[in-house]
A and B are shown apart, each in its own frame.
Chain A
């Protein structure tokens, strides 16, 4: 799957592939009992962001610009970073290990106190919106900022006389799929 994502030169196919990848990630998250995150991944990752990428493609060309295929510096950087990340995973506790540090910090407090302090069965919601309310407020502000940024970037007056750039070279098949 990942190799296919790297290999594809057609951006339309790339968007579809990454949507499928998001769906696989969502099922993986659900298999790991993180239903909340899985739901978000399915709705945002596979659904909305695929459509957003498609509508961005609508404004641009669907073929990747031809360039140098192999770039040694980038390849070395990517390999070194990947190796460092894999080396880092050796230090992580095993998945579901009861002695892992995440199970000994504040998690026992939340699990024990949520029924008394919040009176609700879903601890995730209690942590997100009450114990960690500041974090969620910050997240909401980030989303707000993202919306503002897109509006400012795309809604401003065009300098090139109102014609969308490269719009005329759009291929027909993605017009069909999108419209």
Chain B
């Protein structure tokens, strides 16, 4: 990709903002549109773009595949673990009110943030891993 100067410069400018936008979509999901799934997809798109432009080695340095692969089950575990935590705290499965029975709204907020984080981890890691698997197969 050494000859594609425009692509190189533009994507170098764009990628930080893509990641920032993904973070915004993740954290602002309870006020604006978006949530874990959308944020994960946008962040994965940013990483895929980075891999396309700067090559697989640079991308593997920035986002180690081992960690990303570990993230696929981790996200599901976070999601399911929130439910188990609710059970242990005396609620129903995935009943976030149990986090803070005195202020159910606070409990809901905590539960939703954790669950969305789980969705983000799984979606991001799955998309990046699928792309990596294809890319590695080709060489």
Contacts known (A43-B38, A147-B129, A164-B138); A51 close to B115, Cβ less than 8 A? no
| Size bin of chain A's contact surface | 35 or more
Chain B interface SS verdict (over half) = helix
Residue of B96, B115, B126 near A146 (CB, 8 A) is B126
Contacts known (A130-B111, A150-B130); A137 close to B83, Cβ less than 8 A? yes
Interface residues of B in 24-45 (CB under 8 A from A): 25, 29-38, 41-42, 44-45
Interface hit among A83-91, A92-100, A112-120: A112-120
Tell me the smallest distance from the CB of A42 to a CB of chain B, in Å.
Answer: 9
Residues of chain A within 8 A (CB-CB) of B1 are 179
Chain A interface SS verdict (over half) = helix
| Size bin of chain B's contact surface | 35 or more
Interface hit among A33-41, A61-69, A72-80: A33-41
Tell me the smallest distance from the CB of B83 to a CB of chain A, in Å.
Answer: 7
Interface hit among A3-11, A15-23, A121-129: A121-129
Tell me the smallest distance from the CB of B17 to a CB of chain A, in Å.
Answer: 14
Which residue on chain A has the smallest CB distance to residue B45?
A47
Contacts known (A59-B134, A122-B30); A140 close to B25, Cβ less than 8 A? no
* Cross-chain contact A118 with B126 (CB below 8 angstroms): no
Tell me the smallest distance from the CB of A16 to a CB of chain B, in Å.
Answer: 15
Tell me the smallest distance from the CB of B12 to a CB of chain A, in Å.
Answer: 17
Residues of chain A within 8 A (CB-CB) of B11 are none
Residue of B35, B52, B73, B138 near A144 (CB, 8 A) is B73
Residues of chain A within 8 A (CB-CB) of B33 are 35-36, 39, 122, 124
B105 interface residue (CB < 8 Å to A) = yes
Tell me the smallest distance from the CB of A175 to a CB of chain B, in Å.
Answer: 10
B85 interface residue (CB < 8 Å to A) = no
Could you list 29 examples of A-B contacts with CB < 8 Å? A40-B38, A40-B41, A43-B42, A48-B127, A51-B52, A117-B105, A118-B112, A122-B29, A122-B33, A125-B30, A125-B34, A125-B35, A125-B116, A126-B30, A129-B36, A129-B111, A129-B119, A133-B83, A137-B94, A139-B119, A140-B79, A140-B122, A144-B126, A147-B122, A147-B126, A147-B129, A151-B130, A154-B137, A179-B1
